[in-house]
């Protein structure tokens, strides 16, 4: 199931089970400092996600131009 960002925020605020599922991720992200190795991994992950987004957008444009 895919959530829109507003749906995600609503679930985060109103669904205790959803928040519990995300607690480990929240703890990890909140503990990261810019000078740690984890920070570098997050920067790499962000770059990879940005590249993936560009590829997906290009693919969708090709699909719509047919």
What is residue 66's predicted lDDT score, i.e. its pLDDT?
A: 61
What is residue 1's predicted lDDT score, i.e. its pLDDT?
A: 67
In tens, the pLDDT along 7-64 reads 999 998 998 998 898 888 888 778 778 787 878 888 888 989 999 999 888 888 876 6
- Residue 6: pLDDT band (50, 70, 90) is very high
Could you give phi then psi for residue 42, rounded to 5 degrees? -65, -40
CA angle 21, 15, 50 (to 5 degrees): 55
- Domain ranges for the chain: 1-31, 34-66
């Amino acid at each position: 199931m895919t959530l829109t960002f507003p749906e995600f925020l609503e679930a985060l605020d109103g669904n205790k089970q959803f928040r519990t599922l995300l607690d480990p991720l929240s703890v990890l992200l909140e503990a990261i400092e810019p000078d740690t190795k984890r920070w570098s991994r997050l920067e790499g992950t962000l770059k990879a996600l940005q590249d993936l987004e560009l590829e997906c957008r290009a693919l969708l444009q090709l699909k719509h131009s047919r």
